[in-house]
Structure formats: structure tokens, C-alpha cells
Structure 1
């Protein structure tokens, strides 16, 4: 069995100013914060790579603490979403900022990442 097909979650990366990971019920929540751009998207990607490394990952990306989010962040979300789907899981976004909603619509990613307003209750 390869580590990527293992059901056990790897240790999440250390929290940084731009991302932190926590378990919340049956979900892995990756909370992003600050400005996610070309210089900082890698910090978010580290957390999303770890969160999507298990079989059937169920990942919530909480963007409510983000002040700025650009195409570098969208690229990271798309990559993580593809990884989750390849492993039989899913990735969803939690966002309540109208600016982020506009970015998702303008980029054509609204249907892929239709934002949830809050983190859902655990199953």
C-alpha cells in the first residue's frame, strides 16, 4: 500500500500565517487567512496537499478569514479538488465574502466551488 492510498491522514503541516488544518467532525478543515497570492499560495497548498492525501478525503477550505485571493489561490483550489476527486473524496469551499463570490463567478469556477456560507455540522 502506498502512502497516498492509505486511509490514515498524514500529519498536517505546521500552522502558518496563511493556513492551518484541523479536524471538525468528519471533515478536514483547512482555514486560510490573510492574503493568498503568488507569494503565499504555497503555504495553503501544503495544507491542502496533506488534507487530500488520504483515501476519500472530505475537505472544507474555509476562506472566511481571507482578505485577498487571486488566481494563484484558485490554481491551488483546483489542484486540491482534482486530488480529492481522484481519491474518491471531495473538496468544498466555505466563503461569505461577495468579492470572493465575484471571483469564482468571473473565473467560471462557481459551479465547481459553489461556496457554503458556514461550516456544516458534522455527520
Structure 2
């Protein structure tokens, strides 16, 4: 796949990504994580910004390294929990698309900025 290809040009089904969620509908911690992504950090967890492999194939199929994952803190937990934002794109602070999962990659909603 060519560098800079959009999600619309991605290979394979976008299983589970037909649903959308606005930034305002994200949990408060998700809104904070989304803002940090757009600002380039700093992120509270060491694993934030690591490559997301899309092994579940719930997101459009893109080259390895396209997607990065970020933790959405869950109050009351001492570990990272199940909530994540996964973003894809060449420029981390200007992703082509971001997705929210509350169930550790079983399903995703595309984040829209409306």
C-alpha cells in the first residue's frame, strides 16, 4: 500500500467500524486521551503510542505500523483496563482516522469530530 493512503483505500472489510462516536460522546477520560493524541502527548502510560497490530482484523487492513494505540484510563483500576483509542496515519498528531474500543478490541467505533 502506498504511503499516505487513506482509510477509504484500505484493503479488507472494516468489520465493526461502521458505528461512529463523536468526541463529545467519548467518556471524559477518552476525550482527554484524544486531546493528548492531537497534541503529541505526553502520555501517562509507557505503552501509549505503541504499534497496534490489528490481529483481530476489526479495523481496515493497513501496513504494519500504520495504527498506534493509546490507553483510555478507567477510574478505579490499577491496570490499563480495556478502553483504548487506536489511530492510524503517517502523522501521529494528524491521524487519518481514530477508533474507540471499550471492550479491548472486540468492537470499535470510528471517532468523528462533530
**Normalised by the shorter chain, which TM-score bucket?**
under 0.3
Higher relative contact order at CA 8 Å, sep ≥6: structure 1 or structure 2? 2
Give the TM-score taking structure 1 as reference length: 0.24
Q: Which has the higher strand share?
A: 1
Give the TM-score taking structure 2 as reference length: 0.26
Q: Which has the higher helix share?
A: 1
